[in-house]
Homo-oligomer: A and B are copies of this chain.
Amino acid sequence: MKVPVVQGILNANDQIALQNKQLFDKHGICVINIMASPGSGKTSLILRTIDALQGRLRIGVIEGDIASNVDADRVAAKNAPVVQINTGGQCHLDAPMVQRSLEQLPLDDLDLILIENVGNLICPVSFKLGEDLNVMLASVPEGDDKPYKYPGIFVAVDAVVINKLDLLPYLRFDVAAFRKRIAGKNPQVRILGEYCEMCIGKEEWDEGLARQMEEKVKRL
């Protein structure tokens, strides 16, 4: 007698995330979900990426915030297509929110969508959006002990970008120990680049994104 095997049924969020993913794939768009604490520099990373990849990749942005559109205004000033999601109190983006926001983006004219999640190291990790890559932005002033205290996000992400390295001289932050603690939680994680807002950033982040894009195009 055959035992029937029932595949895991996707929860409501994951079902919509899968629909988002299929839509992104259909349009050949690579999607990065950027997660971090409040004030770690997510919007600055996005603005700098738009500048660095101008003429090379067509970038759209989804800004997630509890309230306000100060971040989306900064992106719009770069003439990049942007949509602001206000969660109205919810501590993370979810796939239905992203699905609704896509109606506002010119999907035929984009290669890359950067999603800025709500500033929170915990809740966003549990909600797929349809992204290709999950990236965490770690800010030096937050301290080098975060992999101990917020292990879930370090396990979940594909890459960590270390930000605000220009503040290193004024803080107790051991970059080597931080890298080791991240690797302890997630040996596969890529530390794409050590990026800082106020100095000329390393090119690894931009190169990493461009490579990711090329890989995706080859795959489709």
Residues of A within 8 A of B (CB): 37-40, 65-68, 70-71, 89, 91, 118-123, 139, 141-143, 145-146, 148-152, 164, 166-167, 170-171, 198
Contacts and interface: CB of A to CB of B under 8 A. Distances in A.
A70 B181 CA distance: 14
Contact of A141 (B68, B141, B151, B152): B141
A175 to B, nearest CB: 15
Contacts of A151: 66-67
Contacts of A148: 67-68, 70
A91 to B, nearest CB: 4
B37 A150 contact: no
A71 B148 CA distance: 10
A45 to B, nearest CB: 13
Contact of A120 (B65, B91, B145): B91
State the main secondary structure of chain A at its contact with B: loop
Chain B CB within 10 Å — which of A65, A120, A164, A167 has the most? A120
Contacts of A91: 91, 120, 122-123
Given A67-B150, A70-B149, 16 more contacts: A37-B39, A37-B142, A38-B142, A39-B143, A40-B142, A66-B149, A66-B150, A66-B152, A67-B151, A68-B145, A70-B148, A71-B149, A120-B120, A120-B123, A123-B123, A166-B170
Contacts of A70: 145, 148-149
The 3 A-B pairs with the shortest beta carbon distances in the complex, nearest first, are: A39-B142, A141-B141, A68-B148
A97 to B, nearest CB: 15
Contact of A119 (B37, B164, B166, B198): B37
Nearest to A40: B142
